[in-house]
Structure 1
């Protein structure tokens, strides 16, 4: 683990880590620190729980839930004998396995997506670049419905509506009391490519203008007139978490799976791309004017 990993099925935490995904990340980080303090390799830790080195990596990076037996065996291997400390870590592992609200939508989601939704909900900073369509956190219900129908032509109406409902539920994170910072660059193509009819697009553009005025949202548009730019690799999202020892994660969505990039040098490259996009393109005020101009053309 450490380059890109396909998403496969399968003391109390503070308020910002109240989500199951946040607790998994926090628990994995604590296990990693204990292992490193003892100088034990991931391979040796994996052997102790009858698993592979890659499973230890996924556990420490918060990509999989915890089995109580595995955590108990690892704590023993790491020399953690204090009853209170063991109980604290086992409780954290148990709470991390509690299903998040999004699992009620699992019947209409690909197996690799719930993991992202959980981490998105635990993030304190979300940075993204989109080129094909408006980022899901900023879509109106009508626009989201058109996007889902375009991607799932044979889906039943009920399944479409449940996917739209999930998207709208995710958006509540942006307006909650402890809302994350959201920095997003939208390529002009995402704003000109129609999903739905004219009124749907007008409603979407108006919504973007309104959301761009929120204090926790920085929305910029990369216009066609700029020509080629650093976002040539396509859309991506960078998730940052409130605990300093949890690494940022780059999320790349593919047709049948998803990738996380968590090596520092990989994350840094995507951060540089987003920094360049934000620096080279119009700022938030001018981008808002661009949105208003596009709205007048609809």
Structure 2
């Protein structure tokens, strides 16, 4: 049950899935489970979705309620519960990271495969510091300079995993509009395009461009990220960022729809070599 090859966020999802399975096997509602640990049914739902950490003491009470008497099974689940409370590296940025973003960063940190479609901005894992700062200032113009710098530092820290010893497979499809929008001005965009060319030479990074001439497609007006994990017991998840938070798609049939969208977009997009040539032409076209 308890596995060591993941961080606290993925472990929270494992724990939540196991607790949901045990509750349903016991024929209990979330409200009944909540009463056992003096919590609401909404909190039980967040625990079972892996969105919040839970005390080992409360997990023990839930296991008793669910009739889990086997000593080995209880201990494995309690060990997992204790590990979910271990802090990830991103907690040092807790002053600038909202809780909904913490969840995503934790999932991203454990993903073996990160697949992205971006319709308006360069994917965060591929942004230069100057481009990232311009995005942050445009999105939150009220932020003081120190907080902008902290958020840029967080984004840069997330990128370090791409060049680590066991980097994830990153596959990004960028709408052509992303390459032409002068976020931060022409010089910032030019440096960003050059950075994309450099990133695309890495063996674990694939960049494709979806040109304007494809017309309409299945993901018009949306951007999303699909994450897969090394352990097949950790289900895939799709992340969508909205203005005030985030949405997670985790039902297998819904995740499959997004995978199909990605396959459709990859088929429509320029292949990696032609995408590189388009980016190079735009770099040359910069005034």
With normalisation by structure 2, the TM-score equals 0.91
Q: How does 1:117-136 map to 2 (within 5 A)?
A: 117-136=105-124
- Cα contact 1:42–1:57 (8 A) shared by 2: no
**What residue in structure 2 maps to residue 297 of structure 1?**
285
Given the alignment, which residue of 76, 89, 95 partners 1:88?
76
Q: Is 1:259 matched up with 2:247?
A: yes
Q: Is 1:239 matched up with 2:227?
A: yes
| Structure 1 residue ranges without an equivalent (≥5) | 1-10
SS at match of 1:238: strand
- Cα contact 1:186–1:221 (8 A) shared by 2: yes
Separation in 2, partners of 1:203, 1:245: 40
CA-to-aligned-CA distance 1:34-61 (integer Å, 9 cap, x gap): 445x353443434443444443343233
CA RMSD of aligned residues (A): 2.0
**What residue in structure 2 maps to residue 108 of structure 1?**
96
- Cα contact 2:26–2:67 (8 A) shared by 1: no
**What residue in structure 2 maps to residue 249 of structure 1?**
237
CA-to-aligned-CA distance 1:102-145 (integer Å, 9 cap, x gap): 12212223342111111111212111111111010000111111
Separation in 1, partners of 2:221, 2:140: 25
| Structure 2 residue ranges without an equivalent (≥5) | none
Q: Is 1:187 matched up with 2:187?
A: no
Q: Is 1:26 matched up with 2:14?
A: yes
**What residue in structure 1 maps to residue 166 of structure 2?**
178
Q: Is 1:167 matched up with 2:155?
A: yes
- Cα contact 2:10–2:234 (8 A) shared by 1: no
- Cα contact 1:29–1:245 (8 A) shared by 2: no
SS at match of 2:121: coil
SS at match of 2:94: helix
Divergent runs of 4+, >4 A = none
Q: Is 1:40 matched up with 2:27?
A: yes
- Cα contact 1:185–1:277 (8 A) shared by 2: yes
- Cα contact 1:42–1:56 (8 A) shared by 2: no
Offset of 1:221 from its aligned partner? 0.6
- Cα contact 1:222–1:282 (8 A) shared by 2: yes
Separation in 2, partners of 1:189, 1:56: 42
**Structure with the greater relative contact order (CA < 8 A, sep ≥ 6): 1 or 2?**
1
Could you tell which deviates more after superposition, 285-294 or 78-87?
A: 78-87
Separation in 1, partners of 2:184, 2:11: 39
With normalisation by structure 1, the TM-score equals 0.88
Q: How does 1:266-285 map to 2 (within 5 A)?
A: 266-285=254-273
Offset of 1:236 from its aligned partner? 1.0
**What residue in structure 1 maps to residue 46 of structure 2?**
58
